[in-house]
Structure 1
Amino acid sequence: MRYAICFTPTPSDPISHVAANWLGRNVFSGEMVEPPAIGGIGIHDVAFHTAVPRRYGFHGVLRAPFHLAADVSETQLLRDMMRFSGSFQPFRIPRIEVARLRNFFSLVPSVPCEDMHYLASAVVQHFDRFRAPLSEAEIERIDPDGLSAAQFANLHRWGNPYVMDEFRFHMPVTGPVNLVDMPRIEQALRSVFEPVLAEPVTVANIALMIEEGAGGPFRVHSLHPMGKVSARKIA
């Protein structure tokens, strides 16, 4: 079993509902969802292009999937996440948008969000003691020969090349898309997501996600509210 620490909007957030429909799976319940009818693209096309993010569910990763270290437990991880999340105040991403990152599409902040970058860096550092070291096979799957010097250093220090200065927050909504299909897929994504992207996104929790069996889908195990308990009760 692997764990990941992420941000995902609450189940009641309109973005969560739209994303579950698009990806075909609810990241909270794990249930499969019937995809919507979208002009210009068939349901089989949607299923094909969302196969990779469907497994992981709608989220933005803060601490990439990891096995627990031998000397820690899930109970300890949960307890530490409760304390950690309470030490950060909620914040907002003013606007997110559909964007192409290399050969896939994600929802990303329209302008860099320093609060999210700081949160992600803190998560990586604080929870590093909970992760087991990467195996040689896991390192090879990352293809270290294709990394920059900074990414290579991150891989060996933090178990992930894309952290700290190499981090960019994104919520994937497709897997790889070939160049021919990109305009059509982008148009479909904008028609689906833009109606719910007008409002700021509130970041008020961090999520612990778990992998259901080796190579299985991820789902949200628990949401950990940000801010002190007393302040949340007053709010």
Structure 2
Amino acid sequence: MSEVFASVGDPLPDAHHRRAALASLDLAVARFAVYYVPPAGACWWNEGSRWLGRDAITGRQLNAPHVPGLSRALADLTVDARRYGLHGTLKAPMRLAPGVKPDDLYTIARQVAARHTPFDLPLTIDVVDTDNGKRPGFVALRPKTNVAGVPGVISAAGAAAAKQIDALAFDCVEAFDGLRALPTEAELARRLAQPLTTRQRELLARWGYPYVFDEFRFHVTLTDRVGAADATAMTDWWRPRVQALGPMRVDGLALFVQPTPEVPFVIAERFTFGQNPTASAADQAGGAA
């Protein structure tokens, strides 16, 4: 495994050296994902990374904020979320199929990014329940489609942005699917042990992930599964900040890599929308610094 991605907390190299380092990964165990992330240095990126206690671009550990009313320290309630880094899933983590190389991911990522244009996504803070109440939910940012202060009234701008993020995710699911290795029996068993619906099981069998297309609900994960009291404390902390930060700018997609199961995901490169899909990495504006 490349040592470039191995040291948790150490600064990561620039995008050019990260791409070169991917060639030395053990592709039998490395996982890749396509996520939405705010641009490096953007207020949303800084606030979200500080909350999780880790910057997935620089690799640095950060001091998480104090949140009144929690049953435990915030860091104890974001263990899994911190491992993945601040993100919204577009194509869920996957291993590469035999014969597929990381360069193939870069090619598809550029092609997908070239097909989309930037937009602003209004957000709200919410508790996400993916299991119909069978397990505690987790706190996440979700698209805001209603008019502020007017329940039940749909915002045209918010609804349009929600459709755009859905279209981006659907494009990623299909475009990258030919590069995906089939899940192992253990991976399938782990998924099937969850309380999935019949439709979600069908999607899992076809796409390797149960929450795609009609089952997809875009969200930016902020916590692990937490109890009701902790969820309330967290949403109370986030609500004024969501309002102050405003819409999240969606202007690109990011390729994440997890070299081995015991280390966290980091950004290999970020691809801005509207770029020439044949451009070199050096020509790609917005790549991971």
TM-score where L is the length of structure 2: 0.74
Question: Match for residue 274 of structure 2?
Answer: 227
1:89 aligns with 2:117: yes
* CA shift for structure 1 position 6: 0.7
1:135 corresponding residue in structure 2: 184
Asked if 1:21 is matched to 2:50, the reply is: yes
Question: How is 1:99-138 mapped onto 2 (pairs within 5 angstroms)?
Answer: 99-102=126-129, 103-111=137-145, 112=159, 113-138=162-187
Shift of the alpha carbon at 1:194? 4.1
Matches of 1:222 and 1:79, distance apart in 2: 12
Matched-pair contact (CA < 8 Å) for 2:67–2:234 = no
**Structure 1 residue 73 corresponds to structure 2 residue 101:** yes
- Kept in 2, the 8 Å contact 1:40–1:188? The answer is no
Partner SS for 1:173: strand
The normalised TM-score by structure 1 is 0.90
Q: 2:120 and 2:84 mapped to 1: Cα distance?
A: 24
Q: CA deviation at 1:40?
A: 4.1
Distance change in 2, residues 1:145/1:96 (3 Å): closer
Equivalent AA in structure 1 for residue 231 of structure 2: M
- Helix, strand or coil at the partner of 1:68: coil
Q: Counterpart of 1:162 in 2: which secondary structure?
A: coil
* Counterparts of 1:47 and 1:170, CA distance in 2: 20
CA distance in 1, matches of 2:115, 2:31: 25
Counterpart residue type for residue 101 of structure 1 = V
* Structure 1: distance between partners of 2:193 and 2:204: 8
Q: Specify the alignment match of 2:259 in structure 1.
A: 212
- Hey, what does 1:59 align to over in structure 2? 87
Unaligned runs of 5+ in 2: 1-29, 130-136, 146-158, 278-282, 285-289
Structure 2 partner of 1:160: 209
C-alpha displacement of 1:41: 4.5
Deviations 1:77-109 (A, max 9, x none): 11221122112222221x101111121110111
Partner Cα distance (1:124, 1:107) in 2: 21
Distance in 1, Cα, partners of 2:177 & 2:38: 24
1:6 aligns to what?
35
Kept after mapping to 1: 8 A contact 2:44/2:248 = no
Q: Hey, which bits of structure 1, 4+ residues long, moved more than 6 A?
A: none
CA contact (8 A) 1:208 1:221 kept: yes
What secondary structure does 1:174 align onto?
strand
